[in-house]
Structure 1
């Protein structure tokens, strides 16, 4: 969350006090049953994500006190801090909500909540149209988020309702997008839904213009960037497929095995990033589904490179040798892929990712799907996509 305020000496001192609130944050993490090492969603397992949101909400009293002490002229806060609309009203100042997703996903979900077309079909696999949108969009019920399909609302769906209500009361929304990508949906959100918006993205590119920033974005590099660049420089232009499922997704052992077989059976050069927990070592990665000797064979033949854990994604995507991106359809990854001029293989799993896939395939027409059709509920096993389907999508980019 960010604040705009007059920067006097007193205000600077207030900023220096924020370290106190970080200590309180650690105490709150312990109260909800989380380790103090978990500071954001990317460091939490899927089963602990709900507890991270609980810890966020517990910070409200301290942040309210801080806002009143700072006396800002305007509040810019993430949508997951809906109570800041009330604080802004108390102080008689505007609040701008920051939304990190796409115009398309916002409009699609608003359409589903208003018209409920998913209730008009008889099965989870029967297609229905989303009425009133600028394009003809079809989905199936199994692709919809749990907060839409559950008969009884849970805590998270109730929080989303509070967020939507607070957005109607704020001055407007800042969106991490750019007008040229979703112009018709920006207009739909402003005129039909009735929320003022400003496109300020892609913020990841604005914040990472220098090569040093691209190498270090997201944490401390755990691979030799020089060796990675040397490997990429030896490849033909547009010949490498980059595979990354983001910072939150850890694929099951069986799914990793299916991906490995699909890659091995293709003629496609690749870079594959496999999420690694802090407690994992390289042997654990093998135990999670990579066949014995797979990495060595890929390295020896120079066909592929496996990165365990963090990777300098922006630097890789912008390299001339990279010609495609297999992505989970997280919005930041999509923006980076589009800004790098890459077509994408889409593999949505949860959150708003299935909406984002529709944007790439049916609106912008720069993607092809692996056939993922089941929204991943926390605590359940994700849908397994077989090697044959993955292979078909990979062949779309085969060098």
Structure 2
């Protein structure tokens, strides 16, 4: 009998792409599965170019076993909220999602096929109600790491049981917290900015309160990378459902070249001519941008360091994706572009996976988004941490202090997107130069540890590896849960 899974990703590159890759992994490991991915439109009008092109590409990749169902914003019922928050926005789509699944189940009647359950992104927990309406189990996909997952559970306990006011107690504080998913104390300054935000903290608490209604979690990590966090999550005292570490979930077959333009192609050709491990790559994610003052500091640091570089540089905007600078000569130090023309390249956006895959890349200055961290480990490239928003401060702390897999530029920088209510800080040229020099050391202990962890990441997803075994176990458990 065929089994059907319904997958519901949240919007945004860091949520949609990994869950689509999970769908492909599931289908590769069980011929009896078929999957429908229901794609909800973004709450915001803006979308990055890469995200829009990726959405468009999905419509051409549907087949008998992997289908994509696109919900239009016009299908959303009228909402009483003039400007809905994230929770009410997702809830407003429940009737549309339910109707979409109902059509699917009408089409695939037993005994030929059976709905086995929902796998949904953590920002779609309100859709647990829809799965309950169909009488099937829910599984959650956690696109970030096991450590942040564990911290989210711990914060929910502190708020609901200990009655702590997290924001007032930790914001601008010098205290340190004992967190069970870490082996060392977490400084308050490295606490994830998204959990110190008055709008987003309730979202994460509401998620955590529903975790135990599910049958399991697929987490984008591998057991060898985060042993302390996985031990905490698997502790029966937490009363959590089964946690499956199935990562790294990456799309590395084409190294992100599905939409490379002429400028990006030029960058890759330039890389081919550079010595091994000689180039530092600076890239800050789809939402990472900087002020003119910060761009100048980065430029000064790069020139002083003397290293070759590829720099993804864009202007920060308060509530949307970053924009291209219209005239780099006006914002960068006088003569910088001429002096560095042979050793450096500046681009608005680069095909990150293809760049990291190049032997010429010796280090990665990163915002520490979890997908970027997994990609850097996969390709054996050490990171210098420059977190901006969301959970990235925790990711940076984990990589530097907990795991020794990165060097620090700073682990507590505050950006302007999804961050605590603060003006954007300024990182000095001295800090950046020091971090870049440390990052690019040829025979450092960090580089050696990253090389070893890279091998473990590859082994984890191979037949018999820890993540492959967890994925197979998930399929077996999902099949048993409908028997």
- Structure 2: distance between partners of 1:281 and 1:375: 21
TM-score normalized with structure 2 length: 0.66
1:263–1:146 distance in 2 versus 1, CA, 3 Å: closer
What SS is found at the alignment partner of 2:72?
Answer: helix
**Does 1:303 pair with 2:351?**
no
Q: Which runs of 5+ in 2 are unaligned?
A: 1-5, 9-22, 24-32, 37-62, 106-114, 159-163, 442-483
- Structure 2: distance between partners of 1:7 and 1:266: 50
- Structure 1: distance between partners of 2:244 and 2:297: 42
**What residue in structure 1 maps to residue 97 of structure 2?**
63
Structure 1 position 111, deviation (Å): 3.0
Structure 1 position 215, deviation (Å): 1.6
Q: Which runs of 5+ in 1 are unaligned?
A: 34-49
Structure 1 position 105, deviation (Å): 1.5
What SS is found at the alignment partner of 2:123?
Answer: coil
- Structure 2: distance between partners of 1:6 and 1:397: 44
- Structure 2: distance between partners of 1:339 and 1:134: 23
State whether residues 143 and 375 of structure 1, in contact with CA within 8 Å, keep that contact through their aligned partners in structure 2: no
Structure 1 position 32, deviation (Å): 6.0
- Structure 1: distance between partners of 2:85 and 2:332: 31
- Structure 1: distance between partners of 2:168 and 2:92: 39
Greater alpha carbon shift after TM alignment, 334-343 vs 367-376: 367-376
State whether residues 168 and 195 of structure 1, in contact with CA within 8 Å, keep that contact through their aligned partners in structure 2: yes
CA offsets per residue over residues 253-299 of structure 1, 9 Å max, x none? 11111111111111111110123699956634555x32344233322
Structure 1 position 158, deviation (Å): 2.3
Structure 1 position 79, deviation (Å): 1.0
Write the mapping of 1:1-399 to structure 2, written as runs, cut at 5 A. Answer: 2=7, 18-19=69-70, 21-22=71-72, 24=74, 55-71=89-105, 72-115=115-158, 124-140=172-188, 142-145=189-192, 148-149=195-196, 153-154=198-199, 156-191=200-235, 192-193=237-238, 194-204=240-250, 207-210=251-254, 213-216=255-258, 220-275=259-314, 283-287=326-330, 289-299=331-341, 302-308=342-348, 310-376=349-415, 377=419, 380-398=422-440
Q: Report the aligned-residue RMSD.
A: 3.5
- Structure 2: distance between partners of 1:121 and 1:195: 30
TM-score normalized with structure 1 length: 0.79
What SS is found at the alignment partner of 1:262?
Answer: helix
- Structure 1: distance between partners of 2:145 and 2:213: 20
- Paired residues in the alignment total 362
